[in-house]
Structure 1
């Protein structure tokens, strides 16, 4: 199939008709191609973060999901033809079960993690940063695989406040949960690819 035009006319239902091997995000009417596949280092970091979140969240009300999974910033899923904006974060935590649908998240996740690559850094640090802030994502992490750091942003009064930068030797607190932190040595341990 042809790549859609970069305008606000592409709906989510049209996107779904393109096929399972086609991956796009649409943010503020702009279409972003999600290929090529991420590096093995990127995938190793994602795997380790998913593992840490999944172990902690077992038996709790929140769930963690990794890419590929569409997140539609809307409150209803009744008419997918009306959905004109969606993203595919590397990892999301959702604490409202009503937002979890069979093939997508519908609504705003509580926590989003994006793992930088050369082709996505500007989008993750600027475009998605602003979109997640506008949508009301409570906690946003930007992972830098090259420097082995994680920047944490917390939503306060409708705007993100930089809560800190965490390095490989640190434990990073997950602000959504008072009793949860992650040893970043576990996250960056297998990333010498």
Structure 2
């Protein structure tokens, strides 16, 4: 009996205990995240509204923070461990911490991550990523809901996130960790066309 693997067996993707190298070798045209050593297929391309909101938040943050922070938008690999690679919609890294930036992505905890929710990502963003980002000690996590035109701000407190504010309308968005942040959801949503 031969113990050699057939060509077919070599191409089978294992389903657990995957590493960054397994994740990085995927070239099937799909977008994945690596969650606890398992590949998670991301939903199809984000909606136009999602992309416009992401772009507008990026622009608003860049206006006041680009001299102090590197500001990234998806896709960017945030490599939290060998078995945990996420792609937040927006990530900020202080220029004083540029040692966590490599050609592979952000290798460590950013100062802030933001996710823009959609119906297909609701559970992942509000449960799974909330737990994961806290576990890897990301100090601040935003969940942006374009339908409610709201931004939920979570601050890491004793290894868990605490919902500290929900920003809507003209209320100025501020951060206890990132002093340069200064915009409102009205600034963001006011620049987004209503789409069917």
TM-score normalised according to structure 1 size: 0.87
Q: Could you tell me how far apart the structure 1 residues matched to 2:66 and 2:153 are?
A: 23
Deviation at 1:168, TM superposition (A): 2.5
Within-5 A mapping of 1:26-41 = 26-41=34-49
Secondary structure, counterpart of 2:152 in structure 1: strand
Secondary structure, counterpart of 1:141 in structure 2: strand
**Is 1:51 equivalent to 2:59 in the alignment?**
yes
Structure 1 stretches of 4+ with a deviation exceeding 6 A read: none
Across the two proteins, how many residue pairs are aligned to each other? Answer: 182
The RMSD of aligned alpha carbons is 1.8
Match of 2:79 in 1: 72
Query: Structure 1 residues 16 and 184, CA, compared in 2 at 3 Å: closer, same or farther?
Result: same
Match of 2:84 in 1: 85
Q: Could you tell me how far apart the structure 2 residues matched to 1:160 and 1:17 are?
A: 33
Q: Is the 8 A contact 1:139 1:175 kept in 2?
A: no
**Is 1:121 equivalent to 2:122 in the alignment?**
yes
Q: Could you tell me how far apart the structure 2 residues matched to 1:136 and 1:191 are?
A: 36
Q: Is the 8 A contact 1:63 1:93 kept in 2?
A: yes
Query: Which has more radius of gyration?
Result: 2
Question: 1 or 2 for the larger relative contact order (CA 8 Å, sep ≥6)?
Answer: 1
Which region of structure 1 is more displaced relative to structure 2, 107-116 or 154-163? Answer: 154-163
Query: Structure 1 residues 91 and 134, CA, compared in 2 at 3 Å: closer, same or farther?
Result: same
Secondary structure, counterpart of 1:182 in structure 2: coil
TM-score normalised according to structure 2 size: 0.86
Gaps of 5+ in 2: 1-10
Q: Is the 8 A contact 2:64 2:180 kept in 1?
A: no
**Is 1:19 equivalent to 2:27 in the alignment?**
yes
Q: Could you tell me how far apart the structure 1 residues matched to 2:66 and 2:186 are?
A: 22
**Is 1:192 equivalent to 2:176 in the alignment?**
no
Gaps of 5+ in 1: 75-82
Deviation at 1:157, TM superposition (A): 1.8
Query: Structure 1 residues 137 and 116, CA, compared in 2 at 3 Å: closer, same or farther?
Result: same
